[in-house]
């Protein structure tokens, strides 16, 4: 467990599953997500994740679900997965009422440090819905670059939500960690 800028970082446990599902859902879907700027409510309905998906990340032998607390309350989380020479960053969520206050950049910097120091990786990869221009721009300000490499959105698989438009795809973003 590490503390940075009043935040405590620790690996999620099985007992965190319900809290983390609620956090991720509140950051991206439904009316609660509109309190922050990361909402996907205009492009996707339904769930962003579920207890099984969160538990799978927690139990992964190649990764961890980093849980971020402030004053004993879970305020953010992110997935880190070791994939050879790079780490994958995903399931990033900050409580909607705390978005826009600088927490995200502190958390992503700490996640990058952990990946670099734990696994010796030289790059961080992530995928972002390509039409999320505000989100892509935020990551670009943190040193991530668009690759133009796209993968299709899993239309028809409601575990990832119900699209409200037909042009969704994921773009790979990459940042050197050296």
pLDDT in tens, 145-173: 999 999 999 999 888 888 999 999 999 99
Check which CATH number belongs to the domain holding 67 and give it: 3.40.630.30
Average pLDDT of the chain? Answer: 93
Mean pLDDT across 24-47: 82
Overall number of domains in the chain: 1
Report the C-alpha gap between 51 and 102 in whole angstroms.
28
Please give the share of the chain, as a percent, with pLDDT higher than 70.
97
Pair of tokens at residue 21: 């599902």
- pLDDT recorded at residue 121: 98
Residues 6+ apart with CB under 8 A from 133: none
The closest alpha carbon to 44, from 59, 33, 58, 60, belongs to 33
Q: What does 119-173 look like in DSSP terms, one character per residue?
A: H--SEEEEEEETT-HHHHHHHHHTT-EEEEEEEE--TT-GGG-EESSS--EEEEE
Residue carrying the six token digits 């795809």: 169
Mean pLDDT across 19-48: 85
Quick one: 37 exposed, middle or buried, by C-beta within 10 A (0-12, 13-18, 19+)? middle
- Residue 145, domain extent: 2-176
Q: What is the pTM of this model?
A: 0.92
Report the C-alpha gap between 167 and 4 in whole angstroms.
39
User: How does pLDDT run across 91-106, given as a tens digit for each residue?
Assistant: 999 999 999 999 999 9
């Amino acid at each position: 467990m590490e503390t940075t800028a009043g935040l405590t970082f620790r690996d999620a446990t099985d007992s965190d599953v319900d809290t983390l599902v609620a956090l991720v859902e509140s950051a991206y879907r439904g009316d609660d997500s509109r309190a922050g700027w990361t909402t996907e409510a205009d492009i996707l309905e339904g769930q962003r994740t579920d207890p099984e998906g969160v538990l799978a990340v927690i139990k992964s032998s190649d990764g961890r679900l980093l849980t971020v607390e402030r004053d004993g309350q879970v305020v953010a989380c992110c997935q880190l997965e070791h994939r050879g020479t790079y780490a994958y960053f995903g399931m990033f969520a900050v409580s909607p009422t705390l978005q826009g206050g600088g927490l995200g950049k502190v958390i992503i910097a700490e996640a990058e440090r952990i990946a670099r120091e734990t696994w010796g990786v030289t790059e961080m990869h992530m995928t972002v819905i390509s039409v999320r221009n505000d989100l892509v721009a935020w990551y670009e300000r943190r040193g991530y670059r668009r690759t133009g490499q796209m993968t299709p959105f899993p239309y028809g698989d409601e575990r990832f939500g119900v699209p409200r438009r037909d042009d969704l795809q994921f773009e790979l973003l990459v940042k050197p960690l050296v």
